[in-house]
Amino acid sequence: MHLGRFHVVVQDLATHFKRAQLPQKLEQCATQLDQYASSKTQPDLEAFRSAVDKLLAAAELADSDLAQPYARQVIADMRISDILPPAFSETVKRLIAEKSFDPAGLATELRTLATTTTKKSAHLTAIDSSFTALEVEYERVADDAAEVGFLLPREVVGETLVDLTAEFGELSKLLRAINELVGAKDYDPRVITISSSWWQVFLDLDPNQVLVWVLAIERIINLFKSNLEIKNLQRQLGDKEMPKEITDLIEKEVERRVTTAIQELARDIRAQHAKINDQARLNEIETQLRHGLVYLARRLNQGAHVEINVGIPDEPRPPKGQAEAEEPSEEFKAKLAEAKERIAKLRDLRARAYAASSETTAIDRSAPLLLAQGGDTTAPPTPSPTPRPAGRPR
């Protein structure tokens, strides 16, 4: 993993546990149980239920960054999923259900959970404090910037230089097609970070590109949802030793539907986001975009994650030296209104991007691959690279 991104996740986790105060709330629940065990009165039981409600509410993640794919991988690698939702909340509910007739035993279990949470959250706080004191690198998307990250399983991509060269070549074709289509300032996107627990590469974007990536991921995810049920049926028929001709027909039908849907997605992206007028060149870009979307769909189906991050700038502040009671100038008011409108759009875009990113971690991969034969049957065996547009620096 990348140290700067790891630092960000650790800081966000430390902030979550500082805000949530889970050990203290677990102790409050246990104390209310002790009182109920002694009194057996309804008010003490209601006080315990209220304490549990507050505990479960506090346990929820207020920071949406912690639901992003990279953060989820860090959480899994650090083995702290048990003190975060949904596992933490499920544990509390399970303990209450199992020991509903044993208040003393339940109080003991809650205190044990509090001890575990205290130890693990203390380690996170210590790491965050040490990293901050030592000025360890820190990589979070900047205000008014955006990025897309690809988290690719090593067992899918491979581990040799040749494997990585081929993988990044496929990724580059898709990125170049989108960048040229939307008129991005960079034909080849800048690499922000790269790391290798999985193959993880984050690339610089602008908001115009983000819209295309969000649309592509949303449509591909919906494609999976609408076709995986059919693939599961194919698997079940195969398990029951149905003739191979039948299962092959089902596979070909899914391939046809997926290929058609991706062709439609490429056309829609072209229609909605193209910023160039050369129709011949647009046809070439659409072809390359279609090939790239097939590649992306296959990788998502094989376990890859995509993470899109969008930075939100601060609102403009009055000029220095202006008194608080002084009426802002008309120029500043217009600038502020324009900034607020743009910030609101960026917030909506970020929410949509985060939702799409999260969906890439929740794809049902228990069924056979949707694109078993490669998907786009119109693709040439070795598609030529995108020609560099005139005027682009080499």
d(CA 200, CA 203) in angstroms, rounded, equals 10
Number of domains in the chain: 2
Asked if residue 120 belongs to a domain, the reply is: yes
**Residue 393 domain flag:** no
Which pTM value belongs to this model?
0.82
> pLDDT at position 383, please?
41
Confidence of residue 231 (pLDDT cuts 50, 70, 90): low
pLDDT of amino acid 372 = 52
Kindly state whether residues 263 and 353 are assigned to the same domain. Answer: yes
pLDDT in tens, 176-212: 999 999 988 888 989 999 998 889 999 998 877 899 9
pLDDT at 140: 93
Kindly state whether residue 370 falls inside one of the protein's structural domains.
Answer: no
- HEC states along 25-62? HHHHHHHHHHHHHHHCCHHHHHHHHHHHHHHHHHHCCC
328, HSE (Cβ side, Cα atoms, 13 Å): 13
pLDDT of 324 > 70? The answer is no
- 297 plus 345 within the same structural domain: yes
Widest Cα–Cα separation across the chain:
83
pLDDT in tens, 153-179: 999 999 999 999 999 999 999 999 999
* Residues 162 and 302 both lie in one domain: yes
Task: Tell me the residue type at 83.
Answer: I
Q: Which domain holds residue 128?
A: 3-133
Alpha-carbon distance of 344 to 352, in angstroms, equals 13
Residue 146: closest CA among 359, 353, 293? 353
Confidence of residue 380 (pLDDT cuts 50, 70, 90): very low
Strand, helix or coil at 233? helix
CA distance 299 to 305: 8
Domain identity same for 125 and 150: no
Closest CA to 118 of 25, 233, 11: 25
Same structural domain for residues 294 and 192?
Answer: yes
Answer whether 334's CB lies under 8 Å from 264's CB.
no
251-258 CB contacts, 8 Å cutoff, 24+ apart: 251/368, 251/372, 251/373, 254/227, 254/230, 254/370, 255/370, 255/371, 255/372, 255/373, 255/375, 255/377, 257/227, 258/223, 258/227, 258/297, 258/370, 258/371, 258/375
CA distance 330 to 68: 40
Q: Which of 302, 356, 346 has the alpha carbon at shortest distance from 68?
A: 356
- In the predicted model, what is the mean pLDDT of residues 37-46? 89
CA-CA-CA-CA dihedral for 81, 85, 89, 95, to nearest 10: -10
pLDDT tens digits, residue range 213-227?
999 999 999 888 877
- Are 191 and 333 within 8 A, CB to CB? no
Supply φ then ψ for residue 141, to 5 degrees.
-55, 135
Residues 208 and 351 in one domain: yes
What is the rounded radius of gyration, in angstroms, for the C-alpha atoms of the chain? Answer: 26
Give the integer Cα–Cα distance in Å for 384 and 382. 6
Please check whether residue 390 lies inside any domain of the structure: no
Residue 141 located in a structural domain: no
Q: Is 6 helix (H, G, I), strand (E, B) or coil?
A: helix
Choose among 21, 5, 17: nearest CA to 125: 17
d(CA 257, CA 99): 51
Do the domain assignments include residue 98?
A: yes
Domain assignment of residue 385, yes or no: no
Three-state DSSP class for residue 192: strand
Q: pLDDT tens across 350-370, in order?
A: 999 999 999 999 876 654 455
pLDDT at residue 317, as a whole number:
77
Any idea which residue has 């074709």 for tokens?
A: 173
| Residue 64 forms part of a structural domain | yes
Q: Does residue 182 sit in the same domain as residue 265? A: yes
- The span from the first CA to the last CA of the chain, in angstroms, equals 31
Mean pLDDT of 68-94: 95
- β strands within the chain, DSSP E: 146-152, 191-195, 199-205, 305-310
Q: Are residues 314 and 353 in the same domain?
A: yes
Of 77, 104, 133, the position where a domain reaches its end is 133
Cα gap 69→203, rounded to integer Å: 15
Q: In the predicted model, is pLDDT for residue 393 greater than 70?
A: no
Helices (H) then strands (E): counts for the chain: 12, 4
User: Residue 202 pairs with which residues in a beta bridge?
Assistant: 149, 193
Beta strand 199-205 with 305-310: parallel, antiparallel or unpaired?
unpaired
Kindly state whether residues 240 and 316 are assigned to the same domain: yes
Helix H, strand E, coil C: the string for 283-323 is HHHHHHHHHHHHHHHHHHHCCCEEEEEECCCCCCCCCCCCC
Same domain, 343 and 236: yes
- Give the residue among 209, 323, 331 at the shortest CA–CA distance from 339: 331
Same domain, 91 and 203: no
- 318 and 202 in a common domain: yes
